[in-house]
Homo-oligomer: A and B are copies of this chain.
């Protein structure tokens, strides 16, 4: 069983400003106290299953130096720089084409680069089980996450929980982000999983489905895939890729195809969606504060601090997110972290591009 992985690392993640910047988004940041960046974690935790030469990164040209710096052992030709973002379907199609040319019947894990997994052993076992299932004819598998609370910020997968075989279940449908009442009913029913954006399939299976449901994309991919490994690859990629249809694999394939399966994952997954996630993924003190850095706190409660070496002295404050960097400081009420985009809009309007 030949296992490969394709990691999507092109996101610009504005929600971690001011640590994340256009030239260094979330996947290249360390948000845990161990100093490892999100993408380093993503690659490292695959080690028991996938060798480095079979790990591909889809990113954009700006981030090539960061990837080289953070993942020096990765073969340079495995890092594909999209000339422009075209959503997941073209990225997956291109990666699957390259893998299918290299190996007959290789399984491909398609994974985000900026999520966190607490129980890595469970995770690896789940991926291994998914890979076994994916080897069956044209099976497409999406990894679901067993929900632990009624989250309204995720899409859900409705699945036939009574109709599984070896822990693999048929997907009924994908549903959009629910309101709180709906999310609570999903949680109670036991028939819903969080949609994690992680997929497992044979490269040939997903190519087959792309050919069937997105023929235009399939055709557009051919000249690019054929140029891979030649001197013309970069110029062909830059010429042809922008013309591919911009579409998600969810909408383009998964919601249309039959015989989609899911495996309920239970391995402490966290998408680390905003600064608020830091208090989930890091230890907190007796006053519910999460401090990363040189913090002196007196009478302060329920604060999250991401420091930068400098002393941060807090006196009598609560419910704040404080993020310190060399050139910008964020002080944000916890219930306002979704509004960080307003700051970025303001910085854009003021043309302070060095801070974006």
Contacts and interface: CB of A to CB of B under 8 A. Distances in A.
A333 interface: yes
Interface string A308-348: 00111111110010101011111111011101101100110
Interface residues of A, number: 34
Contacts of A352: 311
A328 B311 CA distance: 5
B335 A313 contact: no
Contacts of A329: 310-313, 324, 329
B346 A331 contact: no
A18 interface: yes
A332 B355 contact: no
Most B C-beta atoms less than 10 A away, residue of A299, A315, A332, A336: A315
Copies of this protein in the assembly total 2
Nearest to A344: B313
Contacts of A335: 316
B332 A314 contact: yes
Contacts of A296: 343, 346-347
A313 B355 CA distance: 11
A1 interface: no
A73 interface: no
Contact of A298 (B311, B314, B320, B342): B342
A320 B333 CA distance: 11
A314 B320 CA distance: 10
B317 A333 contact: yes
Given A311-B355, A355-B311, A317 B298 contact: no
Interface string A88-111: 000000000000000000000000
Contacts of A333: 315-317
Interface of A: 18, 296, 298-299, 310-317, 320, 322, 324, 326-333, 335-337, 339-340, 342-343, 346-347, 352, 355
12 contacts: A298-B343, A310-B329, A311-B328, A311-B329, A313-B328, A313-B330, A313-B343, A314-B332, A315-B330, A315-B332, A315-B340, A316-B333
